[in-house]
Amino acid sequence: MKSEILVDVSRATAKAVGPEHGVTPREVQELEPRISEAHQKLQEERAQGKYGFWDLYKDEQTFASVKETAEAFLSKQIDNLVILGIGGSALGTKALATALKPPFYNLLSRRARKNKPRLFVMDNIDPTTFKAMMRICPPSKTIYNVISKSGETAETMAQLMIIVELIEKKLGKSEMKNHVVVTTNPRGAGAKPSLLHPVADTYSLHEFTVPLNVGGRFSVFSPVGMFPAALLGMDLNAFRQGCHAMDTKCQTPELLENPAYLCAAYQYIADVRKGKRISVMMPYADGLADVADWYRQLWAESLGKRFALDGTEVYAGQTPVKALGVTDQHSQIQLYREGPNDKIITVLEVQRFDVTLRIPNTLEHIPELEYLRNATMNKLLAAELTGTIDALKISQRPVIRIRLPRINEYFVAQLLYMLEVETAMAGRLYNVQTFDQPGVEEGKKIARQLMGADK
Amino acid sequence: MKSEILVDVSRATAKAVGPEHGVTPREVQELEPRISEAHQKLQEERAQGKYGFWDLYKDEQTFASVKETAEAFLSKQIDNLVILGIGGSALGTKALATALKPPFYNLLSRRARKNKPRLFVMDNIDPTTFKAMMRICPPSKTIYNVISKSGETAETMAQLMIIVELIEKKLGKSEMKNHVVVTTNPRGAGAKPSLLHPVADTYSLHEFTVPLNVGGRFSVFSPVGMFPAALLGMDLNAFRQGCHAMDTKCQTPELLENPAYLCAAYQYIADVRKGKRISVMMPYADGLADVADWYRQLWAESLGKRFALDGTEVYAGQTPVKALGVTDQHSQIQLYREGPNDKIITVLEVQRFDVTLRIPNTLEHIPELEYLRNATMNKLLAAELTGTIDALKISQRPVIRIRLPRINEYFVAQLLYMLEVETAMAGRLYNVQTFDQPGVEEGKKIARQLMGADK
């Protein structure tokens, strides 16, 4: 088998689940001119540098600087990496860490962690959780990476203000630079100044920047995701190679050769023609669980739009839902099979796990368990996956399969890059502004007023 | 303020979000006879003992035995509690532990854990995760609670077979009874024999039973949830009192006095009359995050049904979605405000957290942060909640608010009990069989065949 990510839409076709719920060859054919046109447009915008996520992986200098800085911090024997950030500043790192670090990573000994720090992603402002983190992570052994493009994110800045007091009290002001790293907007060049700039200046903090043309949810391959990844010992070069491989694959407008466009086309047709208002992402691997959460933001914020580009009111956007195989077979599959046929389910599969676990020949006195004996947990997982998607097919529920050969930096980067390109294409098909999020401003404004700002 | 759970549906009314999206007084009035009738029916079934979840909390003897057994195991200085179970055998324990144990509980010292074990809920069969758990939890220091009503759950039995080999090898067969506890169907009395019965017999294991008339997703107050809770040092009496308080409240068919029926009525009308096909549960507290996951199963498996009780094809059921405040404001709110108006959002609020965290007077040189200075993180969380639901109201999105005075055993029990009663009532309104899950059998059957069973 070729060692690459495979996308299989055959179970989302009319042939598999009927024309009411599945995509017909004609519908795909009809969409092809729009795909070509959108491809053209995306390529143009990319060439103009309008949106920067496409080329983050090419920025050798930034990757080198990220790696160098991470090594410098790692040489200080830090025990904890705390991310102060929310949304796009947090979800990429969570997805990568869950995929690429061992399960129960924070419970492992320093040695088993290969001298890399534990990870705490503080993407909420629950006071109980934040206080607990502060107890567990003494500042002398901790590096805090504060991430906000504008430096105006209330949650993140409140966290930072607490951490600044902690460090000043426990270690002294001069130690700030050894424990806090800033990731924010670049300076000058037409950029809105970030409130994190004066913070970095005052304390002489190391400062990473996110290109102005890269939004939070598309920033995982910028220092937002890559600096934490480097501190955790991930292979940045393999990320770059994975992005490059997928970028190369996604250069063609030919649907059958472009996995990102293929997924976008099927999801779009499923939504607007077949009433599949819900896009479930269901990885069959614990390691990929948080990729589904990362995707939730990407899909929801990019496509959930009131207005089309031409100003008409559309209220567009599928609702992305995270599920986990096999766990959620015992929670959601009843609904997915027998409830409203309003979902398209993307199953993420892993061809080979790093671990093979044999089910031994025990409980011999129970003949009903014979079928499990001397099989492997891996085989059982694969059988349940097949059983579930076959059962979904019987109920005429469309399924897209995405298969990774393994879970490693190279393939996870391919997967995330593919989902980003898919989202960019889908935004074009829905004809919305993929890269903004006007709907989140109102709530922020009201919250600020309640806090007494803008008086 | 009265110290009880408050349900506020005012933001889901036509007055708040318009008649197209909100519930009108007339729609509620029209539903009242059906509520009364359903109430009658539910009371009858309860009196007949058809469904047992209502009265689990009254079973003094079982609670006493759970407590006694837990104390006996705790006296052996166990370090780890491993749950082998999936779906309803896992989700209740996860919800309770996340709510009632401190954040990062497994990272705390034995002393900070008050000599209680760490918790590992193994509700998947990812071989990497299971192997990692085995490395972290030496069997000599671990108790395994294997939970399956039928003893036929493939995932759970495969796990058990592996653990049996591990214990036999490391500790010897005679030690099984000191490390494995079974929770399963009762024996005799018309019950289908469980495959866990011969396991318990062979190794003389302690065996808890789940009443035959209690399904997995309604079993949290049976030994399924209560034995792990007792091992983790939770206050079982407070659970019982919470259930009792909510049970008492839910005795009336009067909507305005019955919080469970009120929620059921609003969700039902929102779905069938206003096209709110998606039911989001969005706790504004990390501790309640896994209550939303528990609810996902409860709502999806109970209401996601192809056939109504009269045999007509209905494909009923809202899709439950888990979101987390404030985190998901930076991920989902864009969609919830500007995407399709197809959701009703239930916000879970906590009036008072155990911790108050002041935002100190730091970063004084940045005037834009003045509004945060000397406020608390608690106040910021509350302001963001208000900002978000106000913004949702502006976009005419219906919201139900459920407020807990605090997160403790008493109120969490009330909340779960309320959601169970709500689900029972909703099932009646949808006119489906709330307590079965026929749609999950097909996938299991295919998986068993692929594993070579039934040959």
Give backbone dihedrals phi and psi of B343, rounded to 5 degrees, phi first: -130, 150
Task: Write out the residue range of the structural domain in which residue B361 sits.
Answer: 6-46+239-439
The verdict on a CB contact (< 8 Å) between A388 and B332 is: no
Same domain, B115 and B87: yes
Q: What is the structure's pLDDT at B1?
A: 40
Measured between alpha carbons, how far is B96 from A145 in angstroms, rounded to an integer? 31
Do the domain assignments include residue B282? yes
The residue of chain A nearest to residue B394, with distances taken between CA atoms, is: A442
Do the domain assignments include residue B445? no
Any bridge partners for residue A416, and if so which? Answer: none
Type of residue numbered B385:
L
Q: Please give the C-alpha separations between residue A140 and each of A81, A168, A204, A350, A391, in angstroms, as whole numbers.
A: 12, 11, 18, 40, 54
Q: What is the structure's pLDDT at B190?
A: 77
Residues A145 and A83: beta-carbon distance below 8 Å: yes
Do the domain assignments include residue B446? no
Same domain, A302 and A373: yes
Q: Domain boundary residue among A182, A207, A234?
A: A234
Q: Residue B189 pLDDT more than 80?
A: no
Q: Domain boundary residue among B234, B266, B286?
A: B234
The verdict on a CB contact (< 8 Å) between B442 and A394 is: yes
Same domain, B217 and B260: no
Element (H, E) at A146: strand A142-147
Short-list B330, B333, B284, B329, CA closest to A88: B330
Short-list A220, A86, A127, A93, CA closest to B333: A86
Measured between beta carbons, the chain A residues lying within 8 angstroms of B192 are none
Which active-site residues of B does the annotation give?
A: 301, 330, 444
CA distance B279 to chain A (A): 11
Same domain, B144 and B253: no
Same domain, B32 and B165: no
Same domain, A417 and A268: yes
CATH number at residue B26: 3.40.50.10490
Residues A297, A301, A304, CA angle at the centre, nearest 5°?
Answer: 130
Alpha helix segments (H runs only) across B355-436: 377-394, 409-430
Q: In terms of pTM, does the model score above 0.90?
A: yes
Q: Domain boundary residue among B180, B202, B234?
A: B234
Same domain, A314 and A218: no
Across all residues in chain A, what is the average pLDDT? Answer: 97
Residues A287 and A245: beta-carbon distance below 8 Å: no
Do the domain assignments include residue B452? no
Do the domain assignments include residue A275? yes
> What ipTM was estimated for this complex?
0.97
Same domain, A226 and A262: no
- Helix (H, G, I), strand (E, B), or coil: what is residue A102? coil
pLDDT band of residue B453 (cuts 50, 70, 90) is confident
Same domain, A95 and A205: yes
Q: Residue A365 pLDDT more than 60?
A: yes
Count of the separate structural domains present in chain B: 2
Supply B406's token pair.
């605090």
A to B CB pairs, distance under 8 Å: 428
Across all residues in chain B, what is the average pLDDT? Answer: 97
CA distance B236 to chain A (A): 23
Tell me whether B315 touches chain A (CB under 8 Å): yes
Measured between beta carbons, the chain A residues lying within 8 angstroms of B158 are 359, 372, 375, 377, 380
Measured between alpha carbons, how far is A296 from A420 in angstroms, rounded to an integer? 12
Do the domain assignments include residue B1? no
User: In terms of DSSP bridges, do strands A180-184 and A206-209 run parallel, antiparallel, or are they unpaired?
Assistant: parallel
Do the domain assignments include residue A453? no
Q: Using one digit for the tens of pLDDT, what is the confidence trace for B28-45?
A: 999 999 999 999 999 999
Element (H, E) at B345: strand B343-350
Same domain, A170 and A245: no
Cis previous bond, B326, omega within 30: yes
pLDDT band of residue A454 (cuts 50, 70, 90) is low
Residue A359 has its nearest CB partner, among B158, B216, B448, at: B158
Do the domain assignments include residue A450? no
Q: Using one digit for the tens of pLDDT, what is the confidence trace for B314-353?
A: 999 999 999 999 999 999 999 999 999 999 999 999 999 9
Same domain, B18 and B87: no
Same domain, B310 and B408: yes
Tell me whether A344 touches chain B (CB under 8 Å): no
Residues B421 and B260: beta-carbon distance below 8 Å: yes
Q: Residue A52 pLDDT more than 90?
A: yes
Supply B180's token pair.
């494995």
Residues B117 and B145: beta-carbon distance below 8 Å: no
